[in-house]
Chain A
Amino acid sequence: MAKPRVATTSLAGCFGCHMSLLDIDERILELVELVDFDKSPINDIKAFTGRCTVGLIEGGCANEENVRVLRDFRAHCDILISLGDCATMGGIPALRNQIPLRECLEEAYVHGITVYNPSGSIPDDNEIPLLLDQVRPAQEVVKMDYHLPGCPPPADTIWEALVALLANKPIELPYGLIKYD
């Protein structure tokens, strides 16, 4: 029987949740026995090669590309898991949600005290994904099946959740493995 396939992505995140995934230490050897990795920054596979059992989503949606990738994951994965506070609550990128987008861009590219930008222009290129007016958590964009909060979620939390899912058992996290910090 073919091994279940796992895909991962980092949307509006910092890759800290992926670091925490790697922080399962030598259990990563066990994990590669259990699963094959599909599209993921870990193996640098850029596009889905087929149907996946589990998709791990780090980060919320800050731009149109995040939304497109998240919808692509929903279309290709049986189970989608939010990985970390940015995916579940917006996280640090969502700090801009109270400030109008134009003000954020002008602070970053025009008025910021360390900015050197003689033309005063704000980057606007077809190659750059358009920003959303607000950062939204993953579950407000597509249906998410499980959430693993934390900044990042502890490695043990990720491990327990993956192992339970792969063994077809419900995810039951003991006290101490649900953390928001």
Chain B
Amino acid sequence: MNPIKFTIDGIRIEATAGQTIMEAADAAGIYIPRLCAHPELKPYGSCRVCTVLVNGRPQSSCTQPASDGLVVENNSEQTQHIRRDIIEMLFVEGNHYCMFCEKSGNCELQAIAYRFGITAPKFALQFPAQNVDATHPDIFIDRNRCILCARCVRASRDIDGKNVFQFLGRGAKRHLGINSDANLKNSNIDVTDRAIGICPVGALLPKRVGFHTAVGQRLYDIEPIGTAIERRRSAEPA
């Protein structure tokens, strides 16, 4: 079958049938920032950080299938502006205290904000009341840090085969629930479940392993997030 041909920022990209714009971009070494998308999970499209302009219209690249002749804008002033606002809104809608968070340095939200050079949010901080579930002997949830990306919801259902997590509530009241309103200890979650390690932020963490990597050696201390994807492109001969 002929490959699908389209362009991202003027660069010619080839995709196979069924690939999303993000998957094709990843393969071609073009990084599109994302938080809810993950290679092990089905597309979900909740965070909108991966918004690109497809033929001039904003679309989430993790859910939009690649098709012939699309003109995609990834790294333009308008898309960066949209993404930056979304990232800043995620910061003000949660309680993100990087200075004492175990995930700091390995956190995708923090890493994306670093990559965008965000020094302070332009929106007013909400300081929402959230809770912590530390009932399980090996795992805890800190809902202050949750960005509602649903990675744990999808990983528990589709990879672990358990369906431990669901969302409860609507709008600003939406929050991560467990077996419809139980605590972690009442669930069949295990510390080895993929649902835990796949959390992009510090909302879902194993106990007793925090701060195990020295500052300076953590995942995003040296290289910006997305560098590994971009290296695929620079590795190709021009």
Complex: chain B residue closest to A149, CB-CB: B119
Please indicate the chain B residues that have their CB under 8 angstroms from the CB of A140 in the complex: 124-125
Of the candidate stretches B36-44, B69-77, B97-105, B186-194, the one touching chain A is B97-105
When the two chains form their complex, are residues A180 and B99 in contact, meaning their CB atoms are under 8 A apart?
yes
Please indicate the chain A residues that have their CB under 8 angstroms from the CB of B222 in the complex: 176
Task: Answer whether residue A132 sits at the interface, using C-beta atoms and an 8 A cutoff.
Answer: no
The minimal Cβ–Cβ distance linking A162 to chain B, given in whole angstroms, is 15
Task: Answer whether residue A109 sits at the interface, using C-beta atoms and an 8 A cutoff.
Answer: no
Please indicate the chain A residues that have their CB under 8 angstroms from the CB of B118 in the complex: 178
User: When the two chains form the complex, which single residue of B113, B119, B124 contacts A147, counting CB atoms closer than 8 Å?
Assistant: B119
| Interface range on chain B (Cβ under 8 Å from partner) | 20 to 34
When the two chains form their complex, are residues B119 and A90 in contact, meaning their CB atoms are under 8 A apart?
no
Task: Answer whether residue A88 sits at the interface, using C-beta atoms and an 8 A cutoff.
Answer: yes
When the two chains form their complex, are residues A176 and B221 in contact, meaning their CB atoms are under 8 A apart?
yes
Please indicate the chain A residues that have their CB under 8 angstroms from the CB of B114 in the complex: 175, 178-180
When the two chains form their complex, are residues A139 and B120 in contact, meaning their CB atoms are under 8 A apart?
yes
Task: Answer whether residue A52 sits at the interface, using C-beta atoms and an 8 A cutoff.
Answer: no
With contact pairs A92-B99, A148-B119, A176-B221 given, residues A98 and B129 touching in the complex (Cβ less than 8 Å): yes
Task: Answer whether residue A40 sits at the interface, using C-beta atoms and an 8 A cutoff.
Answer: no
Secondary structure dominating the interface of A = mixed
What CA separation (Å) do A136 and B96 show in the bound complex?
A: 14
Task: Please tell me the number of chain A residues within 8 Å of chain B, measured between CB atoms.
Answer: 29
Please indicate the chain B residues that have their CB under 8 angstroms from the CB of A92 in the complex: 97, 99-100
Task: Answer whether residue A63 sits at the interface, using C-beta atoms and an 8 A cutoff.
Answer: no
When the two chains form their complex, are residues B129 and A90 in contact, meaning their CB atoms are under 8 A apart?
no
What CA separation (Å) do A136 and B120 show in the bound complex?
A: 13
What CA separation (Å) do A173 and B224 show in the bound complex?
A: 14
Q: What are the interface flags for B111-136 relative to A under an 8 Å C-beta threshold, 1 for contact and 0 otherwise?
A: 00111011111001101111000000
Task: Answer whether residue A59 sits at the interface, using C-beta atoms and an 8 A cutoff.
Answer: no
Task: Answer whether residue B63 sits at the interface, using C-beta atoms and an 8 A cutoff.
Answer: no
Task: Answer whether residue B110 sits at the interface, using C-beta atoms and an 8 A cutoff.
Answer: yes
When the two chains form their complex, are residues B99 and A91 in contact, meaning their CB atoms are under 8 A apart?
yes
When the two chains form their complex, are residues B117 and A178 in contact, meaning their CB atoms are under 8 A apart?
yes
When the two chains form their complex, are residues A180 and B113 in contact, meaning their CB atoms are under 8 A apart?
yes
When the two chains form their complex, are residues B129 and A178 in contact, meaning their CB atoms are under 8 A apart?
no
Complex: chain A residue closest to B129, CB-CB: A98
Q: What are the interface flags for B21-45 relative to A under an 8 Å C-beta threshold, 1 for contact and 0 otherwise?
A: 0000000000000000000000000
What CA separation (Å) do A134 and B95 show in the bound complex?
A: 14
Complex: chain A residue closest to B144, CB-CB: A98
Complex: chain B residue closest to A146, CB-CB: B119
What CA separation (Å) do A88 and B118 show in the bound complex?
A: 11
Complex: chain A residue closest to B216, CB-CB: A176
When the two chains form their complex, are residues A95 and B97 in contact, meaning their CB atoms are under 8 A apart?
yes
The minimal Cβ–Cβ distance linking B118 to chain A, given in whole angstroms, is 8
Task: Answer whether residue A89 sits at the interface, using C-beta atoms and an 8 A cutoff.
Answer: yes
Please indicate the chain B residues that have their CB under 8 angstroms from the CB of A53 in the complex: none
Residues from 222 to 238 in B contacting A, C-beta threshold 8 Å: 222-224
Residues from 132 to 152 in A contacting B, C-beta threshold 8 Å: 134, 136-137, 139-140, 144, 146-149, 151
| 17 sample A-B contacts, Cβ–Cβ < 8 Å, listed by A number | A88-B119, A88-B120, A89-B97, A91-B99, A92-B97, A94-B125, A98-B95, A98-B128, A98-B130, A136-B125, A144-B120, A149-B120, A175-B223, A179-B114, A180-B98, A180-B99, A181-B98
Footprint of A on B, CB under 8 Å? 91, 95-101, 104-105, 110, 113-115, 117-121, 124-125, 127-130, 215, 221-224
Additional pairs, 17, CB under 8 Å, beyond known A89-B120, A147-B120 = A88-B119, A89-B96, A89-B97, A89-B125, A91-B97, A91-B99, A92-B97, A137-B120, A144-B120, A148-B119, A149-B120, A173-B117, A173-B119, A175-B224, A178-B114, A181-B98, A181-B105
